[in-house]
Structure 1
Amino acid sequence: MAYEEAKKRFRGSISPVITPFNEDESIDFNKFKELINWHIEKGSHGISVTGTSGEPSSMSVDERMTVMETACKTVNGRVPFIPGTGSTNHDETMRMTKAAQEMGADGALVIVPYYNKPNQHALYKHFKTVADSVDIPIILYNIPGRTAVNLEADTIARLAEDCENIIGVKEANKDFEHVNKVLLKAGRDFNLYSGIEVLCYPMLAIGGAGHISATANVAPTEVADLYNKWEVGDVKGAQDLHYSLMPLNDVLFRDTNPAPAKAALGMMGKIKPVLRKPLDVPSEAVQAEIRETLKAYKLL
């Protein structure tokens, strides 16, 4: 029953909050807490950290867990808190997912291991072992553009069947046929989240539970309202927001995420636009485009 309740609670715009750094690349925890409070005040339905937008592969495991703990305390139960706990290393994934449960997180977002390119049976064993080790809801995270392997719909369905606490999947997958098959095979009560900005609205239309969109880092209210309008049956309003957000979505992916989002947040005065190596700030041309887009959206 608890997992069925989680499926109902974990809906809407779950903001994948960036990790702000100081000039020396240390974590700026004060700005981090300010960002989380800002997201909640602006209407985000949930908070996630240490996912792709949070640069987790540039942090140590201990740093990631400190970021998670800080976020958990800052959220303080106001909205669901679902940190990213996945890694290319199975033991690290187990450690961070167990830590998420111990610190009081509402769930965990677990990415397909990157670089290793496991086959489907290996992916099943990895995720089942992780899910069986905790009692909190698990959202799978399928992002083949980053991991070089796709978590197939049949594998997702098998995991959903065998692991009661695997309640959904974030699909950062441009293959719209695939995401339709996920709900067909895993069941339409399985929580499907868009991780592709231009597919946030289409995924709601096929029965999705919401989105975990990097654009929420810059425009949390609008990204949350896309879900809100759909939820109350304002189809025209949701469609209008979908098209209105497209230029902003585009410019925020002119370079590798989260570099453009951090540049935008720097221009907005929210953070210092520092990324950890090997990432770096976008080119001057891209930054100029970001600035003009933010002006057009009245974000500057």
Structure 2
Amino acid sequence: MSLRKQLQGTGVALVTPFKTDAQVDFEALGNVIEAMIKGGVEYLVTLGTTGETPTLDKQEKLDIVHYTFEKVAGRVPVVVGIGGNNTQELIKDLHHFPLEKAVAVLSASPYYNKPSQEGLFQHYKAIAGASPKPIILYNVPGRTGRNLNADTTLRLANEVPNIAGIKEASGDMAQCMQLLRDRPEQFLIVSGDDALALPQLACGMDGVISVAANAFPKQFSDMVRACLKADLKTAKKLNDQLMAAYDLMFAENNPAGVKAFMHEEGLLQNVVRLPVVPLSAGLHQKVKAYGKH
């Protein structure tokens, strides 16, 4: 089965639950994984940036990957996030991380360095050559400071065999439509913008790697499946119900927003690691009120 078929639908960029002393809460992580699978999502993404990977050390990352595979036990596909701005260090990670049970690696574009388009191409070409699993590009210029443009993405898709798809979170619909028009047939294109997912799916994207699905796995994945079946009336109805939640979730910080929702659902402690802080009291009250509506 091609990756494009295997990862159609909703993937969840899993949060990393922490205990009150800020250590990784594996029991809560297990509960979150069970809730996602029970909610009907198609696959899981571990060690995405929603998992606060910039504040996890190497051993914690390894422990989370091992635990996730153990808990999932083959029930749904798992994608592992390995990204960053040091190409050589990423190549080492691709050799050392336990990727045997992963279906792909999601790799965020280099942040802060602001490489040229040629630099981005060479970065991804180098890590794709080192990776034992297919690479999914992750374009999120709001966090990295540099857009991976459509021409560079298509060049990677056509010229580098181990590059299998992209999580596109530029927010640029014209760029998205260019990618969808010109992609190779088996190249996976998924949304990385929960609030734009419905129109992007309607334009032809294969699914979403979602933050919001951590808190609303059934409702969000039902919306995505309806859209993929061209049942836009059902999809719009479900999405309309979630729009206020998207606004609250991303008003201050990700994952502080989604963790507030999950805390109110009893899934985890409302703990994040610095430099991220929990939602302000006023915003958290709005999250609490949303859960009662």
Contact 1:20 1:272 in 2 (8 A): yes
User: Is 1:125 matched with 2:95?
Assistant: no
Contact 1:20 1:271 in 2 (8 A): yes
Contact 2:125 2:160 in 1 (8 A): yes
* Distance across 1 between alignment mates of 2:135 and 2:98: 11
Q: What secondary structure, in the 3-state scheme, does the structure 2 residue paired with 1:247 have? A: helix
Aligned residue runs from structure 1 range 128-167, under 5 A:
128-167=125-164
* Distance across 1 between alignment mates of 2:96 and 2:193: 28
The RMSD of aligned alpha carbons is 1.5
Q: Which residue of 1 aligns with 2:23?
A: 26
- From 221, 225, 228, the counterpart of 1:224: 221
* Distance across 1 between alignment mates of 2:213 and 2:112: 27
Q: Which residue of 1 aligns with 2:166?
A: 169
Q: Which residue of 2 aligns with 1:235?
A: 232
* Distance across 2 between alignment mates of 1:140 and 1:233: 26
Contact 1:19 1:32 in 2 (8 A): yes
Contact 1:65 1:99 in 2 (8 A): no
User: Is 1:179 matched with 2:156?
Assistant: no
Amino acid at match of 1:219: F
Contact 2:62 2:98 in 1 (8 A): no
Q: Which residue of 1 aligns with 2:284?
A: 287
Moved more, 127-136 or 45-54: 127-136
Q: What secondary structure, in the 3-state scheme, does the structure 2 residue paired with 1:83 have? A: strand
Q: What secondary structure, in the 3-state scheme, does the structure 2 residue paired with 1:8 have? A: helix
Post-superposition offset of 1:160: 0.6
User: Is 1:202 matched with 2:199?
Assistant: yes
* Distance across 2 between alignment mates of 1:211 and 1:81: 14
Unpaired runs of at least 5, structure 1: none
Q: What secondary structure, in the 3-state scheme, does the structure 2 residue paired with 1:212 have? A: strand
Residues 15-65 of structure 1: CA distance to partner in whole angstroms, max 9, x if unpaired? 111000111111111111111111011101000011121000011223212
Amino acid at match of 1:262: K
Distance change in 2, residues 1:131/1:39 (3 Å): same
* Distance across 1 between alignment mates of 2:39 and 2:95: 30
Post-superposition offset of 1:200: 0.7
User: Is 1:7 matched with 2:4?
Assistant: yes
TM-score, normalising length: structure 2: 0.95
Post-superposition offset of 1:133: 1.2
TM-score, normalising length: structure 1: 0.93
* Distance across 2 between alignment mates of 1:30 and 1:91: 34
User: Is 1:108 matched with 2:88?
Assistant: no
Q: Which residue of 2 aligns with 1:64?
A: 61
Q: What secondary structure, in the 3-state scheme, does the structure 2 residue paired with 1:257 have? A: coil
Contact 2:66 2:98 in 1 (8 A): no
Post-superposition offset of 1:173: 1.5
Distance change in 2, residues 1:65/1:260 (3 Å): same
Distance change in 2, residues 1:197/1:102 (3 Å): closer
Q: What secondary structure, in the 3-state scheme, does the structure 2 residue paired with 1:117 have? A: coil
Post-superposition offset of 1:242: 2.0
Residues 220-252 of structure 1: CA distance to partner in whole angstroms, max 9, x if unpaired? 011111121123332211121222211111111
Residues 192-211 of structure 1: CA distance to partner in whole angstroms, max 9, x if unpaired? 11111121111111110100
Q: What secondary structure, in the 3-state scheme, does the structure 2 residue paired with 1:278 have? A: coil
User: Is 1:48 matched with 2:42?
Assistant: no
Moved more, 58-67 or 285-294: 58-67
* Distance across 2 between alignment mates of 1:89 and 1:25: 27
Post-superposition offset of 1:99: 4.0
Q: Which residue of 1 aligns with 2:275?
A: 278
Moved more, 113-122 or 145-154: 113-122
Aligned residues: 293
* Distance across 2 between alignment mates of 1:5 and 1:256: 34
Q: Which residue of 2 aligns with 1:252?
A: 249
* Distance across 2 between alignment mates of 1:43 and 1:102: 24
Q: What secondary structure, in the 3-state scheme, does the structure 2 residue paired with 1:244 have? A: helix
Moved more, 227-236 or 50-59: 227-236
Contact 1:158 1:186 in 2 (8 A): no
Contact 2:99 2:133 in 1 (8 A): no
Q: What secondary structure, in the 3-state scheme, does the structure 1 residue paired with 2:79 have? A: coil
